[in-house]
Structure 1
Amino acid sequence: MVPFSFCTHELVLLEGHGSRPGALYWPAERALLVADLHLEKASFYASGGQMLPPYDSRETLERLADALRVTGARRVFALGDNFHDDAGPARLEPHATGMLDALTRAHEWVWITGNHDRALGSDPARTLPGTCHEELELAGIMLRHETRPDTPEPELSGHFHPRLTLTARGRRIARACTVASETRLILPAFGALTGGMPANDPAILEALQPAEAIDALLPSRARLVRFPLWRKAA
């Protein structure tokens, strides 16, 4: 776990495993934040004839449970695109259903809706324990699915699935990463079956404007490594 400061708050990035991303822990709020779980993505594609191993939800929830054990978090904020589609909760296989039910009942759980799961906001008690919001303020920081450059307040979001590609010892390695400006953080996609957008993609850099600097953040061996992505011209 790697601590760092963001808008006067002390946060912690959890290291992932291999190419799998970690999560964000907020010690003062005893809160774990994850984005883009995309639960039941494999079953969504299977319904269209593209057969994928149907265990992505189970893997995602197992890693989420590990992060909760490591941090001791009492609250979970899931920042949108929680299921890959609105019918996802009904397709969960029994083991994953039991895991999700146990996790959501053991923790204070907040679902932020994203573009893939807007319908969850209509009646969250219909399928999922917890509360549901389009966006929410926590200790002066806005939690939402997609960053809003038109607002001045500090913000945590997801949506873009940022990923950084590095060359190490002659090998190209892709890692999910957090992208940061002075007042905004875009979290990596936490789901087991999520792709990624290059962290320096113009869509990400434009979404974080105005900014003085934009960096990709990777926790590595108990230290935070910053990779410059963009700097304001002098």
Structure 2
Amino acid sequence: MPAPALTPHAELAVAGETLQLLPQRAALWPARRMLLVADIHIGKAAAFRAGGVPVPAGTTLQNLEALDRLLRTHDIDEVMFLGDFLHARAGRAPATLAALQAWRERHARLALTLVRGNHDSHAGDPPASLDIEVVDEPHRVGPFLFCHHPEEREEAYVIAGHVHPVFRLAAGGDSLRLPCFLFGPKRGMLPSFGAFTGGHAVTPLPGERLFLAAEDRVFALPSPTPID
């Protein structure tokens, strides 16, 4: 009998729904055809260069190309950005905004929603021409509260970003830091989607499950405690 085919994503039952955790550091809610993306930080490299720090250009296009690959691969009607869409006012360079506008025009039928994060409050809302619905946290859709900050709430299950979680694997004197998803009984955190963002090391608490996003696959660390 042939071995079952491996899938690159991890499936997780949360609040009565199924989520797919993708190796591209995003999550898919198939029942709503919704892609969940946290902390894309558009214009971060441009903001650094505006401050005199010589970092490479091209990260905005890299982020948009990553979104394009997901849109080609999955059946998606809406993208929910969980905060920190734009990094800073200094990052609103003409080339950055032009790349965003061109991407939006290629996906004019796609619904876009942004839950404001802490960087959005300083960078300002995206230009109106991008046709992004901008809301404050918590933003409820079905059984979920979409937020930027991963604070537990009593009224529904929270899915958020902000922390940029990573996990350190160590073996035989070698170590590797990988972006990760962290899901517990009342909240879940997504890794940062942006190409030019750092990470904060996390350790799962009792009842939490951790999923590592490798280059082409998501791996679940063993956990004896179910979420749902």
Query: Normalised by the size of structure 2, how large is the TM-score?
Result: 0.83
Q: 1:131 aligns with which of 122, 130, 133?
A: 133
* Aligned residue number for residue 49 of structure 1: 52
Instruction: From the superposition, tell whether residues 103 and 146 of structure 1 become closer, same or farther in structure 2 (CA, over 3 Å).
Output: farther
Instruction: From the superposition, tell whether residues 219 and 127 of structure 1 become closer, same or farther in structure 2 (CA, over 3 Å).
Output: same
After superposing the two structures, state which structure 1 stretch, 33-42 or 160-169, moved more.
160-169
Matched, 1:14 2:34: no
Q: How does 1:96-135 map to 2 (within 5 A)?
A: 96-102=99-105, 105-118=108-121, 126=128, 128-135=130-137
CA distance in 2: counterparts of 1:197 and 1:85, whole angstroms: 20
Q: 1:218 aligns with which of 201, 208, 212?
A: 212
* Aligned residue number for residue 11 of structure 2: 3
Q: 2:169 aligns with which of 166, 169, 172?
A: 166
* Aligned residue number for residue 208 of structure 1: none
**Shift of the alpha carbon at 1:90?**
4.3
CA distance in 1: counterparts of 2:112 and 2:178, whole angstroms: 27
- AA of the residue aligned to 1:14: L
CA contact (8 A) 1:2 1:219 kept: no
CA distance in 2: counterparts of 1:46 and 1:121, whole angstroms: 19
**Shift of the alpha carbon at 1:102?**
2.9
3-state SS of 1:83 partner: coil
- AA of the residue aligned to 2:221: R
CA distance in 2: counterparts of 1:73 and 1:97, whole angstroms: 19
After superposing the two structures, state which structure 1 stretch, 43-52 or 94-103, moved more.
94-103
- AA of the residue aligned to 1:167: A
Q: How does 1:36-75 map to 2 (within 5 A)?
A: 36-75=39-78
Superposition RMSD in Å: 2.6
CA distance in 2: counterparts of 1:74 and 1:117, whole angstroms: 23
CA distance in 1: counterparts of 2:96 and 2:218, whole angstroms: 38
CA contact (8 A) 2:46 2:57 kept: yes
CA contact (8 A) 1:12 1:26 kept: yes
Instruction: From the superposition, tell whether residues 57 and 125 of structure 1 become closer, same or farther in structure 2 (CA, over 3 Å).
Output: closer
Q: How does 1:154-193 map to 2 (within 5 A)?
A: 154-168=157-171, 170-193=173-196
Query: Normalised by the size of structure 1, how large is the TM-score?
Result: 0.81
CA contact (8 A) 1:217 1:227 kept: no
CA distance in 2: counterparts of 1:150 and 1:177, whole angstroms: 22
CA contact (8 A) 1:178 1:187 kept: yes
3-state SS of 2:212 partner: strand
Aligned residues: 214
CA contact (8 A) 1:86 1:116 kept: no
CA contact (8 A) 1:121 1:134 kept: no
CA distance in 2: counterparts of 1:53 and 1:227, whole angstroms: 38
* Aligned residue number for residue 79 of structure 1: 82
Instruction: From the superposition, tell whether residues 148 and 100 of structure 1 become closer, same or farther in structure 2 (CA, over 3 Å).
Output: same
